Amino acid sequence: MIKKIKISLILLAVMPSFADTSTSINTLQITQSVLSPSCIEYKTVGTCFWLFCTYGGCKVRTSVKVKHYIPDVVVSTYAEPFKNPWKEINSITSLASGLVGSNVQGGGDTNNRQANNRTKVRFKDVQAIGHPGGALFSQMLSGMGYYCNNGVTPMFPYFVSELDFIAWRLALIESSYPEALVPGMREVGNQDGANMWGNIYPRAGAVTQNDDYKAGAVAVQRGADVLTNSNSFHISQNYTKSKSDGFWPPDPVKENSSNHKWQQLAPNLKMYCGIFPILNDTPSVDGAYAFALWRPYKCCKRRGQKFLYSIDYGG
């Protein structure tokens, strides 16, 4: 099975791209990016208690409760529609551009910055695709003992903003939300640190930001918010598994918090993770960026028919 997966990854890596971009990364590189211990943060956090019954009676069994981050999806953002820096996905989604026609035209800078004007509106499209490194990630964690399964389908398009053009381009509904009207209510960064990058709402492609990297960061943060929150009017597929016996999924992604981490994949691959605005870099040459979204999961091995409870070390 592992050999088949490796062969498939090699074939994907050499596939030709119909519309290559200056900033690009391929599937094999993204897969190998999961080999980052600093992003995983694997740790034992508690104990689970199970009721195990046989014909001879019942007894309580225990299992170790672990917590670690998993690379769920690759979130890409770019200035031109269907110009994903992920080569193989770009080849596939470029075919869809003819299906939606003029609805996805435009992008990049939507206004020219005049002299002495410090503001600039940039438009970014976003795609969230299932991370292809699941098999390699599981293989790596198998040496650590038990690990969690996020249920993500590799290479599956969970959110494509070009197909969500009404909400992503017009923002008719979310522009009236309190989060969009109250300054500082939902922002990447904070005023106290003098590092305010941009507002999460309305969750649309237009970002008021002079720095292109920061604009891209705000766009992918918006995409992650759309993807992991159920109260969304956007066209997306929420992939988060429900809480179950011995399995605790993460909360929806929230900016400035530790319930997620970003790993930069393009324009430069980084083997460490962070959150915005702590994670920072220089703008790309073509306004395209790709990040792996890592989220923390808790789980324990089933050791009985009924889950009783769990305790976490330290409370």
Q: Is the dihedral of CA 173, 177, 182, 188 positive or negative?
A: negative
In this prediction, residue 109 carries a pLDDT of: 59
Rounded mean pLDDT of 303-315?
Answer: 91
As separate numbers, helices (DSSP H) first and strands (DSSP E) second, the chain gives 9, 13
289-300 vs 125-130, strand pairing mode? unpaired
Contact 127, 161 (CB under 8 A): yes
Q: Please give the Cα distance from 133 to 71 (Å, whole number).
A: 8
Give the number of other CB atoms < 10 A from CB of residue 91: 17
Name the pTM for this structure: 0.87
Q: What letters, b where the CB count within 10 A reaches 16 and e where it falls short, cover 291-304?
A: bbbbbbbbbbbbbb
Give the C-alpha distances (Å, rounded to integers) separating 37 from 2, 13, 139, 186, 255: 21, 24, 13, 31, 23
Rounded mean pLDDT of 243-258?
Answer: 95
Contact 204, 171 (CB under 8 A): yes
| Each residue's pLDDT tens digit, 16-59 | 333 344 689 999 999 999 999 889 999 999 999 999 999 999 99
Lowest mean pLDDT of 191-200, 237-246, 248-257, 276-285, name the range: 191-200
Give the number of other CB atoms < 10 A from CB of residue 199: 23
- Closest CA relative to residue 68, chosen from 172, 141, 154, 167: 141
In this prediction, residue 108 carries a pLDDT of: 57
Q: Please give the Cα distance from 157 to 129 (Å, whole number).
A: 5
| Each residue's pLDDT tens digit, 141-189 | 988 889 999 999 999 999 999 999 899 999 989 999 999 999 888 999 8
- Closest CA relative to residue 241, chosen from 165, 299, 178: 299
Instruction: Extract long-range pairs of 267-271: CB within 8 Å, 24+ residues apart.
Output: 267/23, 267/85, 269/25, 269/29, 269/33, 271/33, 271/35, 271/36, 271/38, 271/39
Beta bridge partners of 53: 58
CA atoms within 13 A on the CB side of 75: 29
Is pLDDT at 1 greater than 50 in this prediction?
no
Residue 32 corresponds to which amino acid? Q
Contact 64, 146 (CB under 8 A): yes
Q: Please give the Cα distance from 70 to 68 (Å, whole number).
A: 7
- Closest CA relative to residue 253, chosen from 293, 216, 219, 218: 293
In this prediction, residue 32 carries a pLDDT of: 96
Where do we find the tokens 């699941």? Answer: 134
| Each residue's pLDDT tens digit, 99-157 | 555 455 555 555 554 444 456 899 999 999 999 999 999 999 988 889 999 999 999 99
DSSP string, 269-315: --SS-B-TTTS--PPPSSS-EEEEEEEEEEEE---SSEEEEEEETT-
